[in-house]
Amino acid sequence: MMCTGRVDLEFVLRAFSNGMDGVFIVGCRLNECNYVTQGNYHALNMALLSRRLLEHIGLNPVRLSIDFMSAGEGIRFAEVNNDFVKKVKELGPLGEGEGIDKEELKTKLAGIRKLVPYIKLEKNDKLGVPLRNREEYDSYFTLEEIDSLVRDAVSYYIIPDKCQACMICARRCPAQSIISGKNQIHVIEQEKCIRCGTCLEVCPARFNAVTKLSGEPVPPPIPEERRTLVRKA
């Protein structure tokens, strides 16, 4: 058990990637946080966002549920849990009930998981708003909003002519997605990049070698044999 304030998109998506047919999150009653952090509001927003992400890749959002109750409500917990299990069983195995091939589903989940840092950054403001009105739940994150977010996901590219091989971005990259070396023009491995924007933030302003792309393809990486930096005397 842990505070629901620690619930993260990655936890939820990892569970489904591991083959879980449904995920049920239970937290303390809203406004009755034991740690005065109100982490259950954070968990609620994460769950609502996760449901839209599931819907985006073609999964039924009913497979993810969140509820709030006290430790003394054992009977209610059993009833809510049994009701959730019944719904998941009616949906069938993950993906099969939605008519999605296993490999296709695996690819879709992997793609969304890679975007988790980017999604959290883009939706940080909304994730921090405590929803006091239950009527807001279904409309807080919309499918159109998530479709647009994923479709227009940003990418980062190191401009070869500007890179000075200082290795700062490579050292700071949390995903280790930047190929670098002494006197070697750096290259971002797009398949590993989590789109957190760290490279853009730390690239020295005098170089301005990292650019942010949105809604456009990333230029192909400079060939390995041309990556050696030729410095002017």
pLDDT in tens, 170-209: 999 999 999 999 999 999 999 899 888 999 999 999 999 9
Domain ranges of the chain: 4-151, 154-226
What pLDDT sits at residue 34? 74
Condensed to tens digits (0 to 9), the pLDDT of residues 65-100 reads 999 998 889 999 999 999 999 999 999 999 999 999
What pLDDT sits at residue 117? 87
Question: 3-12, 30-39, 87-96, 208-217 — which is least confidently predicted?
Answer: 30-39
Average pLDDT, the chain: 93
Determine the average pLDDT of the residues in 199-226: 94
Condensed to tens digits (0 to 9), the pLDDT of residues 101-117 reads 999 999 999 999 988 98
Determine the average pLDDT of the residues in 39-61: 95
Determine the average pLDDT of the residues in 143-154: 93
pLDDT value at 42 more than 80: yes
What pLDDT sits at residue 1? 60
pLDDT value at 27 more than 80: yes
Confidence of residue 59 (pLDDT cuts 50, 70, 90): very high
pLDDT value at 24 more than 80: yes
Q: Using H for helix, E for strand and C for coil, what is the string for the chain?
A: CCCHHHCCHHHHHHHHHCCCCCEEEEECCCCCCCCCCCHHHHHHHHHHHHHHHHHHCCCCHHHEEEEECCCCCHHHHHHHHHHHHHHHHHHCCCCCCCCCCHHHHHHHHHHHHHCHHHHHHHCHHHHCCCCCCHHHHHHHCCHHHHHHHHHCCEEEEECCCCCCCCCHHHHHCCCCCEEEECCEEEEECCCCCCCCCHHHHHCCCCCCCEEEEECCCCCCCCCHHHCECCCCC
* pTM given for the model: 0.82
Determine the average pLDDT of the residues in 214-231: 90
Confidence of residue 64 (pLDDT cuts 50, 70, 90): very high
pLDDT value at 232 more than 90: no
Confidence of residue 38 (pLDDT cuts 50, 70, 90): confident
The percentage of the chain sitting over the pLDDT mark of 70, rounded to a whole number, equals 98
What would be the CATH architecture of the domain defined by 154-226?
2-Layer Sandwich (3.30)
The percentage of the chain sitting over the pLDDT mark of 90, rounded to a whole number, equals 79
pLDDT value at 36 more than 80: no
